[in-house]
């Protein structure tokens, strides 16, 4: 996948990854509140996230496998999303991942990601807000 498309898709997931990693790294500072808190299913799932390296954008086979491996996590997050806006963007990410996992052309992937980038970026802001609220509720 050309760099501009993988960068665009990365822009969709970046706020979530950043906020998840910040939230995961902060519980030790407030371990007592974390252990006594009753996190929502969405929060619990967020804290199970383990970042994986994005494969080379020129290797379609590894890119397809990477996308397929992420589908269950994002499907679960979408089902547990605390807001309609987050649910919408997570469902869109699932659709994109399914498309990536079944695609036979890097050129088509590039065109698809660039076409919908603005919509996904706007939706990612709502998702970031819900992830931030989750992290604050545990602190």
Reduce the DSSP state of residue 54 to 3 states and report it: coil
Cα–Cα distance measured from residue 97 to residue 75, given in angstroms and rounded to the nearest whole number = 10
To the nearest 10°, the Cα dihedral for 112, 19, 21, 32?
A: -150
pLDDT tens-digit series, residues 93-105: 888 888 888 888 7
pLDDT at 50: 80
User: pLDDT exceeding 90 applies to what percent of the chain?
Assistant: 13
Q: Report which of 125, 60, 118 is spatially closest to residue 86, judged by C-alpha positions.
A: 125
pLDDT at 49: 84
Q: Are 42 and 80 in contact (CB under 8 A)?
A: yes
Tens of pLDDT along the chain (139 residues) come to 455 555 445 444 544 444 444 444 444 444 444 444 578 899 889 888 887 787 776 778 888 888 899 999 999 999 999 999 899 889 988 888 888 888 887 777 777 777 777 777 777 888 888 988 888 887 7
Q: Are 85 and 127 in contact (CB under 8 A)?
A: yes
∠ CA 16-29-15 to the nearest 5 degrees? 10
């Amino acid at each position: 996948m050309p760099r501009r498309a993988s960068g665009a898709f990365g822009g969709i997931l970046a706020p979530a990854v950043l906020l998840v990693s910040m939230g995961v790294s902060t519980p030790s500072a407030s371990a007592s509140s974390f252990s006594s808190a009753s996190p929502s299913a969405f929060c619990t799932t967020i804290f199970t996230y383990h970042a994986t390296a994005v494969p080379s954008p020129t290797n379609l086979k590894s890119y397809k496998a990477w996308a397929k491996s992420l589908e269950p996590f994002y499907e679960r997050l979408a089902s547990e999303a605390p807001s309609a806006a987050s649910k919408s963007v997570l469902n869109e990410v699932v659709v994109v991942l399914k498309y990536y996992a079944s695609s036979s052309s890097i050129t088509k992937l590039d065109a698809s990601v660039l076409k919908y980038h603005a919509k996904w970026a706007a939706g990612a802001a709502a998702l970031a807000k819900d992830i931030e609220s989750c992290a604050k509720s545990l602190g």
